[in-house]
Structure 1
Amino acid sequence: MSTALNWLSALDHPEFLADRVSAALRQWPDGDAEAVQVAEIDPAIADTSALVAATDITLESSANCLVVRARRSGTETLAAVLVLATTKADINTAIRKTLGARKCSFMSMDAAVEATGMEYGGITPIGLPQDWPLLIDERVVAQDQIVIGSGVRRSKVRMPGPLAQQLPGAQVITDLAVPIA
């Protein structure tokens, strides 16, 4: 049986957000920040498949934030990628080419946690380092609402999909991900 989540104003409930996520939301224009909601969850269901199985959240509205490391000629770029859970990030072609890299890989769990200051399973594009590119698959911004991490495993954030393109460093890219068969 699916449980409906209790969505609350993210601005009014910073206790459910990582500190850097809460700080970033307070910097947003009022109308945008007010559209962001947060719901407390059991940390055991923070991973997308478990969340979808246990709650009323759909795979189609779930978006995953992935952290990548791109390299070219001794230069390294850290970036975030936001894709729907119904797709797979195209790291070897679309992401690598967009970042102008020779080699691109997903960061290890420990490295991603250290670089973002967020908990694994809760990494979100809100509150990432301002100088990071944020590559967003166009399908994400086409969603009325997306459910993403909150910076911690014990909650999720819900916001309008189009709002993601206003995050620092955001670039909306066609076919950044491919549908999962």
Structure 2
Amino acid sequence: MSDDDVTPPFGTFPLVRPALDVGEELAAPVARALEKWADTEAARSVLYVDTDPDKADTAVFCAAYDVPPELSANCVVVAAKRGGDVTLAACLVLATTRLDVNQAVRKHLGARKASFAPMDTAVDATGMEYGGITPVGLPADWPLLIDAAVVAAPHVLVGSGRRRGKLILPGTALARLPEAEVLQGLAG
């Protein structure tokens, strides 16, 4: 497939390529996860779009690249605590919604307390850049909680593991990621 054959399902981007063809543009864990994803159909459905890291704020980004905000999703790293144990998990919600950390996430993970993980913790644990953390390529032992509205979207834009560039993939493909759990009411 040549560059000219790749058309994103939404948005206007200077470069659109199959993500499997641009491993060097992705954070290392993301590139490895795409290459090793057992669901090859899902892996082939992922597109990489080049974007300016200075336009990463959701409102600015959506305006600059003609992306509907309801098709943009945020991957948030959460630290869930119970006793002395801390469990890191990733949560994926649409950018137009707010993650319910205190109820939905805390209860689902069986934690006494849940909060957004500190930036340094999220970056160190994922091997990804802050502002580009994505559900593709997370540590294998992490729960990945995905709001049902994300999976229902025909296509969703998520991070690429770096601040430059994003991934676009079918919502249903996200549900097929390792450790993914689709939950109703994860976000409001």
Task: Report the equivalent of 1:15.
Answer: 24
Please, which of 3, 7, 12 is the counterpart of residue 4 of structure 1? 12
Rounded to whole Å, the distance in 2 between the matches of 1:120 and 1:53 is: 21
Kindly indicate whether the alpha-carbon contact (under 8 Å) linking 1:16 and 1:39 is maintained by their aligned counterparts in 2. Answer: no
Kindly indicate whether the alpha-carbon contact (under 8 Å) linking 2:28 and 2:127 is maintained by their aligned counterparts in 1. Answer: no
State the Cα distance separating 1:84 from its structure 2 match. 0.3
Please, which of 23, 29, 46 is the counterpart of residue 56 of structure 2? 46
In structure 2, stretches of 5+ residues that fail to align are 1-10
Task: Report the equivalent of 1:74.
Answer: 84
Which contiguous aligned blocks of 4+ residues in structure 1 show a shift greater than 6 angstroms? none
Kindly indicate whether the alpha-carbon contact (under 8 Å) linking 1:89 and 1:177 is maintained by their aligned counterparts in 2. Answer: yes
Q: Does 1:133 align with 2:146?
A: no
State the Cα distance separating 1:27 from its structure 2 match. 0.9
Counterpart residue type for residue 113 of structure 1: V
Please, which of 150, 163, 166 is the counterpart of residue 153 of structure 1? 163
Rounded to whole Å, the distance in 1 between the matches of 2:127 and 2:24 is: 16
Rounded to whole Å, the distance in 1 between the matches of 2:25 and 2:56 is: 13
State the Cα distance separating 1:46 from its structure 2 match. 2.2
Rounded to whole Å, the distance in 2 between the matches of 1:143 and 1:156 is: 17
Kindly indicate whether the alpha-carbon contact (under 8 Å) linking 1:9 and 1:37 is maintained by their aligned counterparts in 2. Answer: yes
Give aligned pairs, total.
Answer: 176
Rounded to whole Å, the distance in 2 between the matches of 1:53 and 1:109 is: 26
State the Cα distance separating 1:32 from its structure 2 match. 1.4
- Which of the pair is proportionally richer in strand? 1
Kindly indicate whether the alpha-carbon contact (under 8 Å) linking 1:124 and 1:151 is maintained by their aligned counterparts in 2. Answer: yes
State the Cα distance separating 1:50 from its structure 2 match. 2.1
Counterpart residue type for residue 87 of structure 1: T
Kindly indicate whether the alpha-carbon contact (under 8 Å) linking 2:62 and 2:69 is maintained by their aligned counterparts in 1. Answer: yes
| SS of structure 1 residue aligned to 2:153 | coil
Q: Normalized against structure 2, the TM-score is what?
A: 0.91
* Larger displacement relative to structure 2 (153-162 or 47-56): 47-56
Q: Does 1:35 align with 2:35?
A: no
| SS of structure 1 residue aligned to 2:123 | helix
Kindly indicate whether the alpha-carbon contact (under 8 Å) linking 1:79 and 1:133 is maintained by their aligned counterparts in 2. Answer: yes
| SS of structure 2 residue aligned to 1:166 | coil
| SS of structure 1 residue aligned to 2:98 | strand
Kindly indicate whether the alpha-carbon contact (under 8 Å) linking 1:147 and 1:159 is maintained by their aligned counterparts in 2. Answer: yes
Q: Normalized against structure 1, the TM-score is what?
A: 0.94
* Larger displacement relative to structure 2 (109-118 or 139-148): 109-118
